[in-house]
Amino acid sequence: MATTKAPEDAYTAAPFVPEHADLAALREAAAGCRGCPLHRDATQTVFGAGNTGARVMLVGEQPGDQEDRRGRPFVGPAGKLLDRALSEAGIDPGETYVTNAVKHFKFTRSGPGKRRIHKAPSLRETAACGPWLAAELRLVEPELIVVLGATAGKALLGSSFRVSEVRGTVLEEEIHGRRERLVPTVHPSSVLRSDDREAAYRGLVSDLKVAARSLA
C-alpha cells in the first residue's frame, strides 16, 4: 500500500494515483486517498465498478449513503432506477462500467436521528478527485460516456456545463488527451426528487436511447 501523504491544503488525488496500474491496483490505491478532506467523514472510498472492458462508462456525482456503507457505486435507490432506465433504453447495465466524479460521500448530519444528508461536492473537491476519473477513462477506454448530471458534466466538460442545454445529444470532446463521445443526461436522483416522476423518468430513458442508438 502506498504511503504517499499530500499536504492538508494540496487538494489533489494526483500523488495517490499509481502510474502503470490496472483497475484493481487503482482501486486499492484509491482506498488510501487523502487528496481532499472528504475521506475524513466517509466510511470508505467508493471506486468505479462493473465491466472493465465496457463500451459504455456511466459517470455519476458521488456515492450516496448506501454506496458509502457498501463500497460500490449506484447500489441505492438512484442506482436501481438507473438500471431500470438503462434496460428500457436497450443498454444492459451488466455490460457497463459505473463510476462517480467524486469517490467519497459528502454529507451533513440533520434531524433528531442525525441522518446523513447528501451534500453536493464543491468544484474544488470534484477537481481534486479528477485524477482518478482520468485514470479510469484511460484504462476502460469506453466508446461512450453517459454523463449523469451537473457534477459529472462539470468534472468532464468544465464548469460552464449545463445539463439542460445538452442533455440527450451526442458530444465529442477532447478529455485528458483522448477524443471522447459523451451523452449527458440528468442524474437519476433528480428523477426521484421530481414532482412529476413519470415524466422525468421518461426523459431519462429518452436520453439513454440516444446513447444506445449512438452505439449501434
Binding site for ligand URA (CB under 6 A): 60-64, 67, 73-74, 76, 78-79, 100, 189
Strand ordering across the sheet containing 178-185: 49-50, 97-100, 56-60, 144-148, 178-185, 171-175
Residue at shortest CB range from ligand URA: 60
> Smallest distance from the beta carbon of 154 to ligand URA, in angstroms?
13
> Of the two residues 185 and 189, which places its CB atom closer to ligand URA in the complex?
189
Beta strands, E only, 70-151:
97-100, 107-110, 115-118, 144-148
> Smallest distance from the beta carbon of 73 to ligand URA, in angstroms?
4
> Of the two residues 16 and 105, which places its CB atom closer to ligand URA in the complex?
105
CA atoms of 38 and 36, how far apart (whole Å): 6
C-alpha cell read off for 126: 470534484
> Smallest distance from the beta carbon of 77 to ligand URA, in angstroms?
8
Q: Which residues pair with 144 in a beta bridge?
A: 56
> Of the two residues 96 and 100, which places its CB atom closer to ligand URA in the complex?
100
> Of the two residues 2 and 85, which places its CB atom closer to ligand URA in the complex?
85
> Smallest distance from the beta carbon of 129 to ligand URA, in angstroms?
12
Given CA atoms 158, 181, 144, 204 in this order, what sign does their dihedral have? positive
